[in-house]
Amino acid sequence: MEIPTLLWGTLILRPYVFVFLACYLAMATLEAGLGRAVFFLVLGYLIAWAAEFSSIHTGFPFGLYIYIPATVDRELWVGGVPFMDSLSYVFLTYAGYATARLALGGLKPDPGLSRSWGLTVLSATCIMTLDIIIDPVALRGYRWFLGQIYGYPEPGVYFGIPVSNFAGWWLMGAVLTRLWQTLSIRLPSRPPWNWGQRQFRWQPLLGPTLYMGILAFNLAVTFAIGEALLGWAGLFIVTPFLTWLVVQTLRERQGKSHARADRDT
């Protein structure tokens, strides 16, 4: 079957992936420019695909797992890996990076934060946390419209997912975050790299909004298929950090409002 037909089939089967991808492209373009956003999309996909290809053959970095080619005639697969799966790492990385940056830098982050290894570490942790929500419900894809596309030779300790998978996600999150940080700083500030780049007041909230949207989608699916224990476990994991993040952001906003009021008086 021709690649354009399989790409169209991927879009029809996985519309939610492309909604999140479109959000990434819009948000990353506003922040860093279209050239950087597309370049990261291509490089990020290739790195993620290589990691998945390695894992299904050697077990590194995510542990050994198996892709089940049930949809190989209906959507695009590349070297035994579903195209949409490796593509997802790009917008998951951007969402995790933006959330970590908001946590560390607030609504007006210091420009030096873009180079920070602390940001890399927290971003990788935010990305891994997304996977703690995503992978268990994806493993149960036969119960929703994802379908059963992968499995493990041996069931893992966390709702069937092995700890090695989360370690691999942390490592991949750190690698891709560092790549985004490098591209944001090193690529020239001229066309086509900066096409569409804009700065506005609430821009730091865009990526975290995508993060929340991905979380909400996966938790909604989790509860919808009757996996209440899995859903509540996910909520207990993410709620403390997200509550702190919202409180800190609101406090910063209120502080700035009070400062402006004091100046006006």
Outline where DSSP puts E strands in the chain. 66-67, 77-78, 81-82, 150-151
Please report, rounded to a whole number, the percentage of residues in the chain having pLDDT higher than 70: 95
Domain spans of the chain?
3-264
Q: Is the pLDDT of residue 45 over 90?
A: yes
Give Cβ neighbours of residue 159 (< 8 Å, ≥ 6 apart): 136, 139, 230, 233
| Distance, CA of 257 to chain centre | 32
**pLDDT for residue 24 is more than 80:** yes
Give pLDDT tens digits for 59-89. 999 999 999 998 999 999 999 999 999 999 9
Q: If pLDDT is split at 50, 70 and 90, which confidence band does 259 have?
A: low
Q: What is the mean pLDDT of the chain?
A: 94
Which residues have C-beta within 8 Å of that of residue 5, sequence separation ≥ 6? none
Q: Using one digit for the tens of pLDDT, what is the confidence trace for 207-250?
A: 999 999 999 999 999 999 999 999 999 999 999 999 999 999 99
Say whether pLDDT at 257 is over 90.
Answer: no
Whole-prediction pTM value? 0.94
In the chain, % of residues over pLDDT 90: 86
Q: Strands 150-151, 81-82: parallel, antiparallel or unpaired by DSSP?
A: unpaired
The C-alpha angle with vertex 9 and arms to 8 and 14, in degrees rounded to 5, equals 100
Amino acid 141: pLDDT: 95
